Amino acid sequence: MDTLTVILNEIGKFTPIIKDVVTIVAIIVGIYFGNKGLKKFLLDDIVKQKIFDLHKTNQEVFILTKEIIAEINSKEDIKRPVAEEDLTYIKSKTQKLVNLSNGASKEVATLSFFINETIKGITPSVKSETYCEKRYALDFYSLLYSTVVKINHFSSNIVDVPKKIKLEPYNEITKKIRRFLDQEETYKIKGVQFGLNLNANSALSLLFSSMINKSTHGYIYRKKFFQLLQKNTPIIYELYINNIYLPVIFEMEKEEPFMGKRTLHLVKFEMKQSIISVNTKHTIEFFYSNINPTIKFIDTIKIENFKENYHDTFLNTEEIFQNLSLEFSVLADETIKVICDKNDAENYYKKVRKKLKKKIKSLK
C-alpha cells in the first residue's frame, strides 16, 4: 500500500469527528448571531412603540394647548390685579398639561412641568412692614400663554427619531465601587432622551427663563424656576450676552449652625432709565433671591453691612465689587434689589470677561 493511500485512510477515520466539530461550531455561531438578531429585533420594536406612543401623546397635548390658547384669547379684562379665581384657573390648566404630557417628547413634558412648578405657591399680592406688591392677571396669563404656544409648537413640529438605535451602559455609581455591588447591568438607548430634562444648562431651561423675563414681576417667577433647578445658570448667559456683570452668587463667609452659608442667587436684572434735570441716568436693577425653600433669612440682612458680609463666590471678584457704588433694598419673597450704574456694570464685565467666558465653558 503506497504512502498516499495510508494518509487518506487515516484522514477518513477523523471525518465523522470533523463533521461533529463543524456542526457544533455552526450551532454556536447560529446562536450567537441569532441572539444578536433577536436583541436588535426586540430593541427596534421597543423604540418603535415608544416613539409611536410619544407622538400620540404629543397630539393629545397639541389639542389641549389649542383649547387653552383659545380660552385665554377670549378673556377681555385681564389688565387688573390677579384674583384667586385666576390662579385657580391657571393652576388647573398647568396641572392638566403635566398630567397629559407624561410620555410626551422631552420638550413638551419639560415645558409643561416648568410652567406648573413655577406658578405654584405664588400669591396675588405680598405685604410686609417695609414693602407692598400687587401682582396682575396679565402677567400670569401672558406667561401661561407664551409657554402654551411654545408647547403647541413642539408638540406638532418636533420629531424624536434616533439616527441609530444602539444600547450603551447606564450607571449612576462610579466604576471603582460598582464592581462590589450586587446589581444587574442597566442599559439605555444611545442618543435618545425620554421624559423630563431638568438640566439647568440646557436650551429648554434658557428658553423658559427668557419667557419668564418678559413678565412685570419676573423676579418672583425666576426665583421659583431657579428654586426648581437649584441653579441660576440661564441668567449667566444673559449677563454675557448683554456685556454686563454683577456677582451671579453672593455667599456669606460665615457658616451658621443648621443653616450653612447664607446664599443669594441673581434671578433677574432690568435696564432702567431716569431723567434728572436735563440729564438721562442709566441704571440696572439686579434682583437677588434666597432659593433655598426651607430657610428664610432676608429679613435679617443688614443692608448697610451687605458688602462686608456677602462675597462673590462665582468668579471671586471681591476687589472690584467692593469698590462699586450700589443701592440696596429689601423686597418680598426672600429677595433684595441692588441698583448699579449701567457704566459700572459694563466696566465690571470688561474686567471679568475672560474669567466669565472660561467659567461658562465649564458649566454643567
**Which range of residues forms the domain containing residue 251?**
232-361
Share of the chain above pLDDT 70, in %: 75
Residue 176 · residue 194 · CB < 8 Å: no
Residue found by looking up cell 457544533 in the block: 24
Is pLDDT at 178 greater than 70 in this prediction? no
Are 238 and 357 part of one and the same domain? yes
Q: Per the domain annotation, does 13 fall within a domain? A: no
Are 270 and 176 part of one and the same domain? no
Lowest mean pLDDT among 3-7, 106-110, 113-117, 240-244: 3-7
Task: Place 159 in a pLDDT band, splitting at 50, 70 and 90.
Answer: low
Are 259 and 147 part of one and the same domain? no
Q: Which residues contact 90 (CB under 8 A, 6 or more apart)?
A: 119, 140, 141, 144
pLDDT higher for 101 or 178?
Answer: 101
| Per-residue model confidence (pLDDT) at position 296 | 87
**N- to C-terminal Cα distance for the chain?**
82
Q: How many CB atoms lie within 10 A of CB 306?
A: 17
Q: Per the domain annotation, does 299 fall within a domain? A: yes
Are 57 and 166 part of one and the same domain? yes
Say how many domains are in the chain: 2
pLDDT higher for 17 or 120?
Answer: 120
Q: What is the pLDDT of residues 14-33, one digit of tens each?
A: 455 555 544 544 444 454 44
Are 311 and 247 part of one and the same domain? yes
Is pLDDT at 261 greater than 50 in this prediction? yes
| Per-residue model confidence (pLDDT) at position 287 | 94
Are 137 and 250 part of one and the same domain? no
Q: What is the pLDDT of residues 264-298, one digit of tens each?
A: 999 999 998 887 766 788 999 999 999 998 888 88
Among 189, 219, 241, identify where a domain stops: 189
Average of per-residue pLDDT across 135-147: 92
| Per-residue model confidence (pLDDT) at position 42 | 56
Give the Cα separation of 161 and 211 in Å (integer): 27
Is pLDDT at 177 greater than 80 in this prediction? no
pLDDT higher for 261 or 285?
Answer: 285
Is pLDDT at 162 greater than 90 in this prediction? no
Task: Place 8 in a pLDDT band, splitting at 50, 70 and 90.
Answer: very low
Residue 186 · residue 170 · CB < 8 Å: yes
Are 174 and 240 part of one and the same domain? no
Q: Per the domain annotation, does 227 fall within a domain? A: no
Lowest mean pLDDT among 6-15, 137-146, 283-292: 6-15
| Per-residue model confidence (pLDDT) at position 358 | 92
Give the Cα separation of 162 and 153 in Å (integer): 20
Q: How does the average pLDDT of the chain come out, rounded? A: 82
Among 171, 189, 207, identify where a domain stops: 189
Q: How many CB atoms lie within 10 A of CB 341?
A: 16
